[in-house]
Amino acid sequence: MHIPRKRFGQHFLRDQAIIQRIVTVLAPKSGEHLVEIGPGQGALTIPVLRLVKQLEAVELDRDLIPELQERSVKAGQLNIYSADALEFDFGSIQKDSRRLRLFGNLPYNISTPLIFHLLGFAGIIEDMLFMLQKEVAERLVAIPDSEHYGRLSVMVQYYCKAELLFDVPPQAFHPPPQVQSSILRLVPYQRPPYPADDYVLFEEIVKHAFGQRRKTLRNSLKSIVSDEVWESMPIRSDRRPENLSVKDFVEMANAVAQIKK
């Protein structure tokens, strides 16, 4: 019997009603390129595999893989990559024109850096359905002027439409985590609604602004945004980062990029 490992942030989903609800909202179809991150003991893997007959998965814990392979034989063809999802090249498994549909119960200790890693592959991803710590999920979908709105909200919403679907209680897992969980869907835009002329600059501005979120924008961004740029924009420099939308941040970055030309 596998003992859940703290260092991998393992909490295995056991509640059959919750499992079925997740599979229903995932709505997997035969012929789609589905990839599960962290299949664990196969709570989601097996029911999804039974529906689509072919599935890929990325699993860090090598001890889980033999049992998962054995359990999946009657359900369909499961191809498991023994790898760290934080370093995995998701582009390497796209062999045709089909975009990837990612899903999984993400370990709480790596969910934020993993989301940032996956944004780098947004162009080849159809959608993502993840179980996350509720607090992280709320940050992903947060709107300006709300308590959870921050850098993660802006960067994710630049690339994706984010939707919170439902909560999952701790008792649905073994062992039960100390936190509430939520199911979240991210759908990457074919093209960002507000494209940055210089993405690296946009990313830098967002990072700097929220790195000193108690300061006004003029103070936190004084090394990047000049007085000339502030005068050219309708965005007030005495505001704070949580007051600005994704569109506002992009417009600011584009104004800076324009001046630099």
| Domain extents in the chain | 6-188, 199-260
φ/ψ of residue 22, rounded to 5: -65, -45
Q: Is 256's pLDDT higher than 50?
A: yes
Q: What percent of the chain has pLDDT over 70?
A: 95
| Cα–Cα distance for residue pair 193/188, rounded to 1 Å | 11
CATH H superfamily, domain 6-188: Vaccinia Virus protein VP39 (3.40.50.150)
The answer to whether residues 235 and 244 touch, using CB atoms and an 8 Å cutoff, is yes
- The SS3 of residue 77 is strand
Q: 6-188 and 199-260: same fold?
A: no
Q: What percent of the chain has pLDDT over 90?
A: 81
The model carries a pTM of 0.91
The answer to whether residues 9 and 75 touch, using CB atoms and an 8 Å cutoff, is no
Quickly state the pLDDT bin for 10 (edges 50, 70, 90): low
Quickly state the pLDDT bin for 6 (edges 50, 70, 90): very low
Closest to 207 (Cα-Cα) out of 162, 165, 249: 249
| Cα–Cα distance for residue pair 152/138, rounded to 1 Å | 10
Per residue in 15-64, pLDDT (tens digit) is 899 999 999 999 999 999 999 999 988 999 999 999 999 999 999 989 88
| Cα–Cα distance for residue pair 97/215, rounded to 1 Å | 46
CATH of 199-260, one of 2.102.10.10, 3.40.630.10, 1.10.8.100, 1.10.3470.10: 1.10.8.100
| Cα–Cα distance for residue pair 93/42, rounded to 1 Å | 21
Average pLDDT, the chain: 92
pLDDT of residue 11: 66
Per residue in 84-132, pLDDT (tens digit) is 999 999 999 999 999 999 999 988 888 999 999 999 999 999 999 999 9
Which residues, 6+ apart, have CB-to-CB distance to 209 below 8 Å? 151, 217, 220, 221, 241, 244, 249
As a whole number, mean pLDDT of residues 140-159 equals 96
Give Cα 140 to chain centroid, integer Å.
8
